Structure 1
């Protein structure tokens, strides 16, 4: 099963945790000094916020899957559609280690398809990816190259 992912950059983490906890009627499942995440079943979404980006707003969007096979299927769909994709294995980002495929939509919004492997104690930043200063912590620039 897939879960929709939204990551927002916020200016005041505590104020936003209070707002989204009230909106979702649930406390975050993960909270750090710079990051919070809700894993909701209704709606089925992985909703994350952080105060690590420069500009508030949509950081990136994505689809979280539960297996490597499901991730491979998404990668094949992206390839068949001739979309630019970037592969990232064992990425350390957002307090998780994940395998990912990235693309960028026509508006320049980074999209990730990912399978989380395990939790890690650091936010991470995927320093090996080509990123643009306004992009996400772990999103590619609009210069994705086909794989």
Structure 2
């Protein structure tokens, strides 16, 4: 990881967030690393299957960015591999129920936001409605 700040609490917190994210990506033969941290802007790189996945924008907005934005000191999260507009990413996050701080139209302090579960096993499966008996 390249950083222009002193390594310390921010780097440790980012690594803790990655310890939640990476097992989920590896479950689909993907991976993620932090390429750089510059004045609170975190740049991430996707690897393996994530590199060519058509759902990379959904993974980035709904999991990676929303989780890393909860780390104190992180102002933004970017990836050169995600080719979606900020507006599209915001809509994806809103659709997936992302934290309010991720939606720029709302002004909320981070301290009042709920954190995502720390353990992947704490995630609940989505309920799918019956399609009329078909």
Q: Structure 2-normalised TM-score?
A: 0.29
Which one has the bigger strand percentage? 1
Which one has the bigger helix percentage? 2
Max radius of gyration: which structure? 2
